[in-house]
């Protein structure tokens, strides 16, 4: 359902739908099977200006908002969550620059991402630091005009494919999370290498790799904000990015529902289409209702954020939590409606089900989402 969209927002949706129909759907099963990064599709997304919607006009973006990012992400996710994740992860990689970057840093990095000629990535997670982001061990030691990075990041989306990495490292390990800093590292910097590419349950075509830093010298001009601001930058980044994860979940669920609905109308059992059975009808009705409820929450969160509201953590986390739990349920039900065929790789719903799972895990597990929401409720009360 598409209500209340402006002309420009409709254009974004139309472009994404054309990319999904012409470029994504014909190859998604193959990309999933082989775990191949969808470089050509990402290039097409770049040419169609969709990376520009992350970025303000003065840095060659389109100056739109989180709502537009959610629309594009949702539509791409309807076709394939791997593609949408690769797309959204580039946005995630530059949010720290938007939040804390100097004008000079923005001029240096944002236009290349806006045009789609370079991808960005966000490097926080480590083997021992997932939900406990404060536990990162990667260090950035000041040495004259440089920081020297040592450590290994894990499960970094767009790892190896991106050119611009926002890395979180300890500039002052004694201070704990208050000693973390965000610093931009460009691909090709000596001492910066990529580790193994992960073999995953879902979003198999997206690149998930280790980033390995060995005495990697990064110019001090690449530090975002000041030393010790890393954790705050990371949390503010997630506030802004989580609605887009909600949008991914809405998109993948929508894609699965469409498959299930179409199938239910052509699949005959007991001499009649299975869509005539109330058992199927009620599943479809629940799926549609839950998707629309999640979409409404995601859109609402995005619009509130675009209105300039500052305290958005709770709403943003709720959008991600609700939509991703919904997507997992809806995609499982879609497989159920397709029955045995749903379990087969010839049909796209098993992939959608595998893909949906990650939305409950990344950018903060849903358990962490509940912690964040509850703590904000206790701290700030009813809003």
Partner 1 sequence: MEIKIDPETNTLIREGIENIINPFDSYAIEEAVRTKERLTNEEVEVIALTMGPPQSAEILKEAISVGADSATLLSDRAFAGADTWATSTILAKAINKLEDCRLIILGKQTVDGDTGQVGPELAQRLNIPFIGYVSSILEINRSKMKVKRLMEDRYETFEINLPVAISVVKDINIPRVPSLRGKMKAKTIEIPVWDAKKLEADENEVGLAGSYTQVVKIFTPQIKHDTRMLEGTAEEQVEELHKILKELNLV
- Separation of alpha carbons 154 and 152, rounded Å: 7
Determine, following the binding rule CB under 8 A, whether residue 7 of this chain makes contact with partner 1.
yes
Look up residue 70 and give its two tokens. Answer: 């959610």
The three-class DSSP label of residue 312 is: coil
CB-nearer residue toward partner 1: 47 or 175: 47
Determine, following the binding rule CB under 8 A, whether residue 22 of this chain makes contact with partner 1.
yes
Of positions 31, 32, 37, 44, contacts partner 1 by CB under 8 A: 44
- Separation of alpha carbons 135 and 124, rounded Å: 10
Determine, following the binding rule CB under 8 A, whether residue 25 of this chain makes contact with partner 1.
no
Residue with tokens 């309807």: 78
Look up residue 225 and give its two tokens. Answer: 């904000």
Of positions 2, 6, 30, 47, contacts partner 1 by CB under 8 A: 47
Q: How far is the CB of 230 from partner 1 (least distance, A)?
A: 33
Q: How many CB atoms lie within 10 A of CB 13?
A: 16
CB-nearer residue toward partner 1: 12 or 256: 12
Of positions 11, 285, 375, 377, contacts partner 1 by CB under 8 A: 11
Q: How far is the CB of 14 from partner 1 (least distance, A)?
A: 8
CB-nearer residue toward partner 1: 47 or 380: 47
Q: How far is the CB of 24 from partner 1 (least distance, A)?
A: 11
Look up residue 350 and give its two tokens. Answer: 């098993």
Q: What contacts 344, CB < 8 A, 6 or more positions away?
A: 350
CB-nearer residue toward partner 1: 58 or 215: 58
Query: Is the Cβ–Cβ distance between 250 and 291 less than 8 Å?
Result: yes
Question: Which range, of 40-48, 86-94, 102-110, 155-163, touches partner 1 by CB under 8 A?
Answer: 40-48
- Separation of alpha carbons 146 and 54, rounded Å: 29
> Which residue among 68, 126, 161, 363 is the active-site one?
363
Determine, following the binding rule CB under 8 A, whether residue 71 of this chain makes contact with partner 1.
no
Q: Is 292 a catalytic residue?
A: no
- Separation of alpha carbons 251 and 259, rounded Å: 13
Determine, following the binding rule CB under 8 A, whether residue 249 of this chain makes contact with partner 1.
no
Question: Which range, of 50-58, 74-82, 261-269, 288-296, touches partner 1 by CB under 8 A?
Answer: 50-58
Determine, following the binding rule CB under 8 A, whether residue 66 of this chain makes contact with partner 1.
no
Strand partners, 141: 148
Q: Cα–Cα distances in Å, from 41 out to 22, 124, 158? A: 10, 26, 14
Size of interface with partner 1, in residues (CB under 8 A): 18
User: What are the φ/ψ torsions at residue 308 (nearest 5 degrees)?
Assistant: 105, 0
Determine, following the binding rule CB under 8 A, whether residue 50 of this chain makes contact with partner 1.
yes
Query: How many angstroms from the chain centroid is the CA of residue 79?
Result: 15
Q: How far is the CB of 247 from partner 1 (least distance, A)?
A: 17
Q: Cα–Cα distances in Å, from 188 out to 21, 69, 194, 221? A: 35, 29, 10, 17
Active site residues: 363
The residues that touch partner 1, with contacts defined as CB under 8 A, are 7-8, 11-12, 14-15, 18-19, 22-23, 44, 47-50, 52-53, 62
């Amino acid at each position: 359902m598409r209500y209340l969209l402006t002309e420009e927002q409709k254009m974004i949706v139309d472009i994404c739908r054309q990319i999904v129909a012409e470029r994504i759907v014909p190859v998604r099963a193959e990309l999933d099977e082989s775990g191949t990064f969808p470089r050509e599709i990402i290039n097409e997304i770049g040419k169609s200006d969709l990376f520009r919607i992350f970025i303000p006009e003065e840095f060659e973006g389109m100056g739109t908002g989180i709502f537009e990012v959610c629309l594009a992400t949702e539509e791409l996710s309807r076709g394939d969550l791997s593609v949408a994740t690769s797309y959204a992860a580039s946005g995630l990689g530059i949010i720290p620059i938007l939040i804390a970057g100097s004008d000079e840093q923005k001029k240096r990095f944002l236009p290349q991402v806006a045009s789609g000629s370079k991808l960005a990535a966000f490097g926080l997670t480590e083997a021992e630091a997932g939900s406990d982001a404060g536990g990162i061990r990667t260090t950035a030691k000041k040495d004259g005009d440089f920081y020297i990075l040592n450590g290994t990041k894990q499960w970094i989306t767009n790892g190896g494919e991106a050119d611009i990495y926002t890395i979180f490292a300890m500039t002052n390990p004694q201070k704990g999370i208050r000693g973390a800093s965000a610093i931009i590292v460009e691909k090709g910097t000596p001492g910066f290498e990529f580790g193994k590419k992960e073999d995953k349950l879902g979003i198999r075509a997206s690149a998930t790799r280790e980033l390995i830093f060995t005495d990697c010298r990064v110019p001090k001009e690449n530090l975002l904000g000041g030393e010790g601001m890393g954790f705050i930058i990371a949390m503010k980044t997630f506030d802004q990015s989580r609605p887009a994860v909600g949008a991914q979940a809405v998109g993948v669920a929508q894609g699965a529902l469409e498959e299930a609905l179409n199938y239910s109308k052509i699949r005959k059992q007991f001499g009649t289409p299975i869509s005539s059975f109330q058992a199927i009808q009620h599943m479809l009705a629940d799926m549609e209702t839950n998707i629309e409820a999640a979409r409404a929450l995601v859109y609402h969160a995005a619009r509130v954020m675009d209105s300039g509201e500052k305290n958005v953590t709770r709403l943003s986390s709720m959008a991600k939590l609700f939509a991703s739990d919904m997507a997992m349920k809806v995609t499982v039900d879609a497989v159920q409606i397709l029955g045995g065929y749903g379990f087969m790789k010839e049909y796209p719903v098993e992939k959608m089900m595998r893909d949906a799972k990650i939305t409950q895990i990344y950018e903060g597990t849903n358990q962490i989402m509940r912690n964040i929401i509850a703590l904000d409720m206790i701290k700030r009360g009813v809003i």
